[in-house]
Amino acid sequence: MQPTTVIFDMDGLLIDSEPLWGEAAEEILARFNVRLTNEQYHQHTGLRTREFLTWWFSFFGISPDHLDTAETDLVDLVIQKVKARPKFQPGVPYILDFFKARGFKIGLASSSPMRLIDTVEDLGQFGDYFQVKTSAEYLPFGKPHPQVYLECARALGVSPLECVAFEDSFNGMIAAKAARMSCVVVPAPDQQRQLRWHAANLKLSSLANFNDLLLEAMGAPAETLKEC
């Protein structure tokens, strides 16, 4: 089935916010004398804020009584940092214009809270592109569960089989594939060589590398992973 719809992740894919999330998480966890390694932090990239904190609170034996305050403070801190240092990924204007010019329905499916999604949309002036924005914040399940992608497709009025999802995280890729969507991954440079991306249909080093020929190939099985 030829795709009619594209759904984008946000953090790390459209905006280089993962370092800012890392900084903010480090500051919040430092209150509890916890410091994560880079590897530990990236294990949970793509999860909801609550799930991220719940995991590490449990791991380090921190009382869950602090979860609500820590979650609110973490999101507030990320929003402050994003506003102070907005850095959009290479190829973002190109890829949005590419799909808009071809008449695609365009959605966004993120684990981030809607107030951060709205902040990024305003900073990037994306209001004319996204017909639907879906946050996993208040859904029963977050990524790697497919619910946020399925909900976005439902709101756009399309079958998941018509959708191409763009992701930068492993958990996001699993969510998109579990939703039965084609998936394009754009991993961080230090994760490009990892073998775990082979579940995707296509791996890019930049959003700017996508083109019509690659769009036509989106129906290919995952084992024919292409890299550009």
Catalytic residue numbers?
9, 11
Report the 3 state secondary structure along 155-179: HHCCCHHHEEEEECCHHHHHHHHHC
Residue 149 φ then ψ, to 5°: -75, -40
Decide: helix, strand or coil at residue 108. strand
Q: Tokens in use for 216?
A: 């036509």
How far apart, in Å, are the Cα atoms of 142 and each of 36, 91, 186? 22, 27, 20
- Residue for token digits 């430092």? 30
